[in-house]
Amino acid sequence: MTTPVAERLTSLVAALRAHGIRVGTGETVDAARAMEALGFGDRELLREGLAATLLHGTAQRPVFDPVFDLYFPRRVGAPEAGTADREDLRERLAAALAANDEALLARLAAEAVDGFGGYGSPGSDGWSSYQTLDRIRPQTLLARVRADARGRGGGPGFADRLLDDEIRRRIEAFRGLVATEARRRVAERRDRDEIARRAVAPTADRVDFLFAGKSQLAELRRTVQPLARKLATRLAARRRRAARGSIDLRRTLRGSLSTGGVPMRPVLRRRRPARPELVLLCDVSGSVSGFSDFTMLLVQALHDQFSKVRVFAFVNRIDEVTGLLEHGAADAAGLGARIQAEATLTGWHGSSDYGVALGEFAERHGEAVGPRTTVFVLGDARTNMSDPNLAAVRQITERARRVYWLNPEQRAQWGTGDSAAPEYAELVEMHECRNVRQLGALVGRLLPI
């Protein structure tokens, strides 16, 4: 393998690692061998070969594919094409769309960007997919492609097989090829590693809860059970280690009499720790609701690890939703809507009010917290300029074994605007928890044993 190609492979691996995909040395060696065996004649075959050796599942493909396009672009080292004629390009594009010739479409995308996507002075790094598509306007080729496709069909029923929505799908795929080619050209002239970090969407477990869309939240919900199994195994191992206890010196010395006073077999004090209790206080207002919903589902999946789990949701009023969570466990996507519909969470206004909600919990549900209870508060601590009610927090901390606050906002935002995070952090241990990766690490470390 030549040095430039090896550098591209190692850079690809580094970019994947930066996005949280674990790639070991052995997998990198396997990828290098796959490259030698497959060659560069068929780029898509090379893509699949590297994906098979470097990835651990299909969920990582949305990160791998655009990164691969950056480090292994089409026509690496080939001379750039000359200026394209717009109408000639549109004619060839219409024919390629009608024939669904993917290889030709890829070449035409590169030619289109080269001819119509550049801007700025010669040698600049200006390449625009928007400018390219605005000039060649592939969406206006629908009628021409339809007519050409029917002519190619030559038999009855062909028009039924090639519907307009199929032609639109092909045009949309071509638009994606143009965007990829423009991004590749920018990366070739700029710092490709920087483009890989900033222009490639992160995996779902690294997406901020506060900015996750519906599709990303749906993907996160599908990871609840696997993550719960991993955390349950970790908690069980911690519990077994904790149950061993410390050395019982008296019994150890007594047992050493049979070995001449040498303590060959230390005797441990056996601990029988009772399973702890867990209480969740969850802000379910606005964008914070996605974070709270996911955490509630995760804790519900871990319920066997605790003697009792109780969950309370609030906006400016607080209500217990433990029963709703159990009954709605199979309907993860509808959990938030069910809680909003069946629980009493708001009073005369619909904005978050931590002071009123926490005070109501301390007053009405104080019996839920005891010396074996660990309390998790989930929320951004934004009080809408209302009283944070620090006295209620102190009351909860005095009753509970531990109190932790998981805040989905980045630490730099704490204390800005209406955030009372610094005031609450003086009373309870507050942690930044912006994504699933952080949540899994915190839950595995903070959950009691």
Which DSSP string corresponds to 281-339? EEE-STTHHHHHHHHHHHHHHTGGGSSEEEEEEESSSEEE-HHHHHHTTT-GGGHHHHH
Tell me which residue of 151, 89, 78 sits closest to 117, measured CA to CA.
89
* Contact call for residues 89 and 115 (beta carbons, < 8 A): yes
CA dihedral (361, 367, 372, 373) in degrees, to 10, reads -20
CB 282 within 8 A of CB 311: yes
**Crossing angle of helices 61-71/3-18, nearest 10°?**
150
Q: Using only C-alpha atoms, what is the Rg of the chain? A: 30
Does 409 score more than 60 pLDDT? yes
Encoded tokens for 316: 């400016």
Asked if pLDDT for residue 204 goes beyond 80, the answer is no
Give the pTM.
Answer: 0.62
Q: Percentage of residues in the chain with pLDDT exceeding 90? A: 23
Q: Which residue has the higher pLDDT, 327 or 73?
A: 73
Q: Which residues contact 226 (CB under 8 A, 6 or more apart)?
A: none
Residue 306 CA to residue 330 CA, distance in Å, equals: 20
Amino acid at 142: L
**How many whole angstroms from its chain centre is CA 192?**
23
* Other CB atoms within 10 Å distance of the CB of residue 80: 11
CA distances from 201 to 204, 208, 249 (A): 9, 12, 57
Highest mean pLDDT (candidates 29-33, 76-80, 335-339):
29-33
Eight-class DSSP state of 419: B
SS3 call for 157: coil
**How many other CB atoms are found less than 10 A from the CB of residue 404?**
19
Q: Which residues on neighbouring strands pair with residue 126, listed in sequence order?
A: 119
- 118-119 and 126-127 beta bridge pairing: antiparallel
Contacts 24+ apart (CB under 8 A), 144-147: 144/94, 145/94, 145/97, 145/98, 145/170, 145/171
Pick from 121-125, 192-196, 264-268: least confident: 121-125
pLDDT interval class at 431 (50, 70, 90) = very high
Residue with more model confidence, 20 or 77: 20
What residue has token string 């060659």? 39
pLDDT tens track for 144-195? 888 877 665 444 444 555 567 888 888 999 998 888 888 777 766 666 666 6
